Amino acid sequence: MKSKGMSVFWVFFFVLLMQSGVNAQQETKPKFKVVDTAFCSDIEPGEKWCDSSDINFTPDVGELYCCTKIFATEDGEIYHNWIYNGKAMASVELKVLRSGGYRTRSVKSIFPKQIGEWRVEVVAEGEVISTLPFVIAPPEQPEDEQSPVSSDEQ
């Protein structure tokens, strides 16, 4: 009789142990995940998304949009942190609704002198969940315009 009682105890204990493991897995699932991203310099009125895969832009771009598609298990906020040559330039709070693909965006003015490496860090709950690099670089000059050849070199 004692062994049957012990068997029931161990089965009950095992079920509880398995249930706590399932709860722990559910708690560690991230609330936000970046599904897709894009940068562009222009968005049509009423649109929320960039139709571009560019990451190289010229200094006369004026402003850039960073579009982010987020998988969200609940409503909340994310941030677009705009970083230029390692220095934080702006942090934009964006509301996100629970969705399998909520689209949101931020925009940043880019001044002609801000040539170099940029990135947007997507931050949720204090952690960077994605880093999106882009470059502001002067347009390349055609070879015949790059350096004139003097008559002595010919």
The tens digit of pLDDT for each residue in 27-56 reads: 567 899 999 999 999 888 777 788 778 899
Q: At the top level of CATH, which class does the domain 30-139 belong to?
A: mainly beta
Residues 90 and 127: their CA atoms lie apart, in Å, by: 16
User: Phi-psi bin for 126: left (phi > 0), alpha (psi -120 to 50), beta?
Assistant: left
Better-predicted residue by pLDDT, 4 or 75 = 75
How far, CA to CA in Å, does 144 sit from each of 58, 138, 139, 154?
A: 21, 17, 14, 14
Please name which of 101, 104, 100 lies closest in space to residue 122, comparing C-alpha atoms: 104
Number of residues in the chain: 154
Q: Is the pTM of this model over 0.75?
A: no
Q: What is the pLDDT of residues 65-110, one digit of tens each?
A: 999 999 999 999 999 999 999 999 999 999 999 998 999 999 999 9
Query: Residue ranges of the domains in the chain?
Result: 30-139
